[in-house]
Structure 1
Amino acid sequence: MSQDYNKTLNLPKTDFPMRGNLPKREPDTLQKWETEDLYEKMIAKNEGKPRYILHDGPPYANGEIHLGTALNKMLKDFIIKYKNMNGFCAPYVPGWDTHGLPIELKAMKSIGVENGAIPPVDLRKHCRDFAMMHVKNQMAQFKRLGSLGHYCDPYLTLKPEYEARQVEVFGEMAKRGYMYKGLKPVYWCPDCNTALAEAEIEYENDPCYSIYVKFQVTDDKGLFTKLGIDKKQIYFVIWTTTTWTIPGNLAICVGPAYEYT
């Protein structure tokens, strides 16, 4: 007859379960934090301590979170929690960027219309609904990662008070004369029919060919002539990767303190 040897061991008695069972227990723990309003209690407890503010560049509200946004949020969450446990009052107000072309394009795709086929006011409404849907989804996903913050009132770039503050700052810059109208080349997307930000440009490595070019001296300022050297026999050699600029080259520059190799 088999014997249960567990009953023959003097094992410690504890309320901790033998198995972690994290897929089930972790959501319960996070829900407990939210129910108890752990973040707000932590900030209230640290009130009056030296302030530590982390300015969070907001994620873009145009899709599900991915490994990049998850890593970004977790690293910042580590810092905030560490500071709050290390003698600081470190509030964290999450936010979302809810403006821009990527949201507009995905919003149009979600309702199945082409650019220009929908009135601007209707398009803005769809963009707002699309962005807010992803704000809600991403907020739940960030909470699921264990992130703590003032999620009940995040900052959103589409809030009227946020937009009003931007206009206020722009107006102040205009009054001080910092704004001007000028010309500037910009990248243009023929598919989207809109200007592109520098961050939206994708670059591709291109083979680079360099050349050496010798330039004959035309005016030696008497330096070589007084040494008995014919200036027609004197050349400066340059190296360049921008070969297409050679036809427009008018001069080269040298410096007495430079080491040329």
Structure 2
Amino acid sequence: HCGFTMDAEGKKMSKSAGNGIDPADVMAKSGADVLRLWVASVDYSQDVNIGDEILDRTSEAYRRIRNTMRFILGSLSDFNDLEHSVKEWDALEPIDQWAMVRLWQLLGDVERAYDEYKFHVVYRTVYDYVVNDLSAVYMDATKDRVYAEAPDSPRRRAAQTVLMNIIEVLVRVLAPVLSFTTDEVWEHYPEAIRNRAGRPANVQLAGWPEKSDFLPALPDAASAKALADDFAVLLEVREVVTKALEEARGAGLVKKSQEAAISVSLPADMLAVASAYDAAVFEELFIVSEVSFAEGEELACAVTPASGEKCPRCWNYRTLGGNPNHPDVCERCGDVLDAIGFTEGE
């Protein structure tokens, strides 16, 4: 059963009322994929509404999805999956492993929604994933690695490996809806992949993602669930940390999260989960310079200015001069400058 298409006020469209919307006008203004995304976003079993304000919201959602894929492609410009992919699961950082498990969960959710012809669930599932898991967490947390590590750094290649998996899934699951955009993404893959012999000329010929396509291979279901459960706790902590950092910025204590040292108190069960991971995991996840944990009755976060000096290259607060060749930056950035052959005075 299908509902009627109504205007923004819930009135049935008709010629006599003059409240119809010509799809050609929408495509001329916003492009065909915005119209296709609107169609996918509504529950067609009910009456559906369309109007300028609704289409503006759809356009904004489209931009979020498009810009996310654009950001991922930009982060992969020097990536060749055959040469640079991390092959072993344990070579990934914990947040990389979480992102891979989360991507596999997304694929399963999207497959079920397509199988049941619930296209609005496909839309909502992908949109929430893009906004909440990618933009707000994974891409934000790994920017430092992608931008500031040496090009061939194993940690940078690990993040790129995950981003490659993500774009490979997103471009395929969105192809039935955003046909033109996903074809454009397909044509702007990293050069080494784009020019590979035998690659499908069009995303519509690329096939559906399978678990066997993931590289590195995903762990068994029990291990994946344990990791997802851990990160459910860690991301709950991150929400509290993020709120505390916003308040610290509002109070003028810090300008950017990298300027902060945070002390988190948390109940014993949550502390047990957090204690299984190195402090560096949380510095990356929270995008701060120092993290410490202590047991407390409830989850809370205190923010203080970080010790050390601001590295002018990566903006993290560290001890500068650890690499004698580059006394004005942190040791990590000094090592990177050595790796890329940069000398002072250039």
**TM bracket (short chain):** under 0.3
TM-score (norm 2): 0.23
TM-score (norm 1): 0.28
Structure holding more helix per residue: 2
